[in-house]
């Protein structure tokens, strides 16, 4: 985003001189930057300078003038920013800046004692210094506006009425964070000697996503992870999901993967160590799982 050099504080100016070798040659996406700083004015690049507002350059002239590559451009105010050409009356513009002209930019002073009025209503009349919120029905962006004068009801939305000055707007949508793995939500008791990790429509009945499986057998039993188990978020077990298993009885419990399924654990241990031992499975990939807990590699 380009900006004129030398613009600072609340009232700024720029002399457009095409005879200079480094004369400004704007493009339509450029902005005039208005700065506010407590730092020295001759060091606009120090860390204390912060741009407060940008005045858009709206139209670019054509042809040459002096030693520069352009003859004119237009700039206009935005919100509480106004522009003036060669010291004339300040306006929201646009104004045409030609070779030799001086462009002035000022920020309208925001008064103290603003009066918050809540959500804007076109059926309400507003007094000077009232402040309202307004949400754009198309973009859903939140704005706050300040009444620079008394405004009668029926005056239209703040974005279309010049008696309202823009105070602020909602920032851009942040990046969505990663989804959490599903927490344990149900128990499933297995009384047989074999069980297969399940995916289906009902958690705890035919879907083991987030389930605590209780292996309740006095003889040896196995819990098998099948090949290509569904990852559907509604009826399957998505990646990063967890499944827990406990040896509820005295029988030995082993967790294994079907042919083509990799189960990774410390020292390749995949037996629950004793009665009431438990372990957790986390789905790393379609056919790759992590297993950790109170395990042993001795049956």
Answer with the one of 107, 138, 159 that is the final residue of a domain.
107
| One domain for residues 164 and 70 | no
Give the 3-state secondary structure of residue 8: coil
Q: Please indicate, yes or no, if residue 71 is contained in any of the structural domains.
A: yes
Distance CA 57, CA 25 (A): 11
Question: Which pLDDT value is given to residue 66?
Answer: 37
pTM, two decimal places: 0.41
Give the 3-state secondary structure of residue 74: strand
Q: Is the dihedral of CA 155, 157, 161, 164 positive or negative?
A: positive
pLDDT digits (tens, 9 = 90+) for 6-35: 332 334 455 555 555 444 444 444 444 433
Q: Please indicate, yes or no, if residue 41 is contained in any of the structural domains.
A: yes
DSSP codes joined into one string, 78-141:
-TTEEEEETT---BS--EEEETT-EEEEEEPPPPS--EEEEE--TTS-B-TTEEEEEE-TTT--
| One domain for residues 279 and 209 | yes
| One domain for residues 19 and 80 | yes
- Alpha-carbon torsion, ordered 151, 83, 13, 95, to 10 deg: 180
Question: Which pLDDT value is given to residue 258?
Answer: 95
| One domain for residues 164 and 198 | no
Q: Please indicate, yes or no, if residue 232 is contained in any of the structural domains.
A: yes
The secondary structure of 24-55, three-state, reads CCCCCCCEEEEEECCCCCCCCCCCCCEEEEEE
Nearest of 164, 258, 243, 254 to residue 210 by alpha carbon: 243
Q: Please indicate, yes or no, if residue 177 is contained in any of the structural domains.
A: no
| One domain for residues 228 and 287 | yes
Q: Please indicate, yes or no, if residue 27 is contained in any of the structural domains.
A: yes
| One domain for residues 89 and 32 | yes
Q: Please indicate, yes or no, if residue 4 is contained in any of the structural domains.
A: no
pLDDT digits (tens, 9 = 90+) for 200-229: 777 767 788 889 999 999 999 999 999 999
pLDDT digits (tens, 9 = 90+) for 281-294: 999 999 999 999 99
Q: Please indicate, yes or no, if residue 217 is contained in any of the structural domains.
A: yes
DSSP codes joined into one string, 191-243:
-SSEEE---SSSBTTTB-TTEEEEE--SS-EEEEE-TT----TTTS--TT-EE
Answer with the one of 107, 124, 157 that is the final residue of a domain.
107
Please provide the average confidence, as pLDDT, over all residues in the chain.
Answer: 75
| One domain for residues 15 and 61 | yes
| One domain for residues 58 and 160 | no
| One domain for residues 63 and 31 | yes
75-79, 155-159, 177-181, 255-259: the lowest-pLDDT one = 177-181
pLDDT digits (tens, 9 = 90+) for 127-168: 998 999 999 888 888 889 989 889 999 999 998 998 898 888
Identify the band that residue 172 occupies on the pLDDT scale cut at 50, 70 and 90: low
Report the chain's terminal Cα–Cα distance, integer Å: 68
Q: Report whether pLDDT(280) > 50.
A: yes
User: Domain of 208: which CATH number?
Assistant: 2.60.120
Identify the band that residue 73 occupies on the pLDDT scale cut at 50, 70 and 90: low
Q: Please indicate, yes or no, if residue 253 is contained in any of the structural domains.
A: yes
Q: Report whether pLDDT(196) > 80.
A: yes
Q: How many domains does the chain have?
A: 3
Domain range for 21 is 11-107
CB atoms within 10 A of CB 267: 8
| One domain for residues 72 and 26 | yes
Question: Which pLDDT value is given to residue 114?
Answer: 85
| One domain for residues 33 and 102 | yes
| One domain for residues 193 and 287 | yes
Q: Report whether pLDDT(4) > 50.
A: no
Answer with the one of 107, 129, 147 that is the final residue of a domain.
107
pLDDT digits (tens, 9 = 90+) for 28-55: 444 444 333 333 333 333 333 333 334 4
């Amino acid at each position: 985003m380009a900006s004129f050099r030398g613009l600072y504080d609340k009232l700024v100016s720029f002399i457009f001189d095409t005879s200079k070798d480094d004369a400004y040659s704007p493009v339509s996406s450029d902005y005039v930057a208005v700065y506010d700083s407590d730092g020295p004015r001759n060091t606009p690049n120090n860390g204390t300078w912060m741009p407060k507002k940008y005045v858009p350059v709206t139209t670019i002239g054509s042809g040459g003038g002096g030693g520069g590559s352009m003859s004119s451009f237009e700039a206009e105010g935005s919100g509480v920013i106004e522009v003036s050409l060669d010291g004339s009356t300040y306006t929201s513009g646009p104004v045409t800046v030609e070779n030799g002209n001086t462009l002035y930019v000022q920020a309208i002073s925001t008064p103290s004692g603003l009066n918050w009025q809540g959500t804007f209503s076109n059926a309400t009349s507003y007094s000077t210094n009232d402040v309202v919120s307004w949400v754009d029905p198309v973009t859903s962006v939140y704005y706050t506006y300040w009444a620079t004068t008394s405004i009668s009801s029926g005056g239209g939305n703040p974005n279309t009425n010049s008696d309202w000055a823009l105070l602020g707007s909602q920032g851009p949508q942040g990046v969505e964070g990663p989804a959490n793995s599903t927490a344990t939500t149900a128990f499933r008791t297995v009384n047989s000697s074999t069980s297969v990790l399940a995916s289906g429509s009902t958690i705890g009945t035919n879907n083991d996503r987030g389930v605590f499986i209780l292996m309740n057998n006095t003889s040896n039993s196995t819990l098998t992870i099948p090949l290509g188990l569904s990852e559907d978020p509604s009826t399957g077990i998505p990646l990063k999901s967890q499944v827990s298993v406990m040896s509820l009885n005295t029988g030995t419990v082993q967790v294994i993967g079907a042919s083509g399924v990799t189960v990774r654990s410390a020292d390749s241990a995949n037996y629950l160590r004793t009665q009431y031992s438990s372990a957790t499975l986390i789905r790393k990939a379609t056919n790759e799982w992590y297993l950790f807990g109170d395990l042993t590699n001795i049956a």
